[in-house]
């Protein structure tokens, strides 16, 4: 049964069949009568808490949550160069990975490829496996949006020069070695940490 992890700022709502094993406190939310809009209205958006809904039908509960929001599809990449450096961008005072919305008639993988090239001025050589999918909630107009982002492993030839797309608010685009990537963990989004873990850039590996 699929587990869903939805980020709301630095908070996380986990929909799972069983209590997940985590190294942080988790508050259980009753699944009976659960209404996402009511949950969101009472949530401390400046908080940093983890909540869990335990249910045998995670798909149905997630479907109910999704129906409360406008769905936005996006895609991005964890890009590696020929010297095992990883491509990170700096936007809105946080480290991030290149990503963007899927355009009409565009596939998810195609969108991720395009967004990497547009945001960093780089030519993607190869797009590999899908690493993971992340979800996060944000305000869009007078509604809540649920952004679904597919993340793909990508590679480039050599170590190309990066050109950040400043009109998208990207002030830096840099190749970071495994040692340098550890600094990203101190100033990034929880969903980006999930992508790094899926790409084997885990905290344990980075501290070796």
Tens digit of each residue's pLDDT (9 = 90 or more) over 107-157: 999 999 999 999 999 999 999 999 999 999 999 999 999 999 999 999 999
Residues 194 and 134 in one domain: yes
Which domain-ending residue is among 22, 37, 67? 67
Calculate what percentage of the chain has a pLDDT beyond 90: 86
The reported pLDDT for the residue numbered 205 is 36
Residues 61 and 76 in one domain: no
Residues 75 and 126 in one domain: yes
Residues 151 and 183 in one domain: yes
Higher pLDDT, 34 or 1: 34
Residues 77 and 155 in one domain: yes
Can you give the residue range of the structural domain that contains 18?
Answer: 4-67
Q: What CA–CA distance (Å, rounded) separates 44 from 59?
A: 26
Residues 76 and 59 in one domain: no
Residues 31 and 82 in one domain: no
Nearest to 173 by CA among 89, 79, 81, 117: 89
Please tell me the pTM assigned to this model.
0.92
Residues 96 and 187 in one domain: yes
Residues 33 and 91 in one domain: no
Residues 119 and 180 in one domain: yes
Which domain-ending residue is among 38, 67, 96? 67
Which domain-ending residue is among 45, 67, 89? 67
By DSSP bridging, strand 99-101 and strand 50-54 are: unpaired
Confidence bin at 206 (pLDDT 50/70/90): very low
The reported pLDDT for the residue numbered 1 is 63
Higher pLDDT, 112 or 204: 112
Residues 59 and 78 in one domain: no
Rounded to an integer, the average pLDDT of 10-23 is 91
Which backbone phi and psi does 42 adopt, to 5 degrees? -95, -5
Whether 163 shows a pLDDT value over 60: the answer reads yes
Whether 204 shows a pLDDT value over 50: the answer reads no
The reported pLDDT for the residue numbered 185 is 87
The reported pLDDT for the residue numbered 202 is 63
- Give the CATH number for residue 147: 3.90.79.10
- What domain count does the chain have? 2
User: Are the C-beta atoms of residues 78 and 199 closer than 8 Å to each other?
Assistant: yes
User: Are the C-beta atoms of residues 136 and 61 closer than 8 Å to each other?
Assistant: no
101 forms beta bridges with 74
Residues 14 and 61 in one domain: yes
């Amino acid at each position: 049964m699929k587990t869903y992890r939805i980020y709301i700022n630095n908070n996380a709502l986990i929909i799972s069949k069983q209590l997940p094993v985590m190294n942080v406190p988790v508050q259980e939310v009753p699944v009976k009568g659960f209404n996402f809009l009511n949950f969101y209205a009472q949530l401390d958006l400046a908080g940093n808490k983890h909540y869990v809904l335990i249910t045998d039908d995670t798909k149905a509960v997630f479907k109910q949550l999704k129906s409360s929001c406008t769905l936005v599809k996006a895609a991005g990449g964890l890009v590696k160069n020929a010297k095992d450096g990883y491509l990170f961008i700096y936007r809105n005072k946080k480290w991030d990975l290149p990503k963007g919305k899927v355009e009409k008639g565009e596939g998810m993988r195609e969108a991720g490829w395009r967004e990497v090239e547009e945001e960093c001025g780089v030519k993607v050589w190869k797009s590999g496996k899908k690493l993971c999918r992340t979800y996060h909630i944000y305000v869009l107009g007078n509604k809540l949006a649920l952004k679904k982002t597919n993340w793909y492993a990508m590679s480039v030839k050599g170590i190309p020069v990066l050109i950040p797309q400043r009109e998208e608010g990207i002030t830096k685009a840099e190749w970071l070695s495994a040692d340098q990537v550890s600094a990203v963990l101190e100033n990034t989004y929880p969903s980006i940490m999930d992508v790094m873990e899926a790409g084997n850039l885990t905290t344990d590996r980075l501290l070796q």
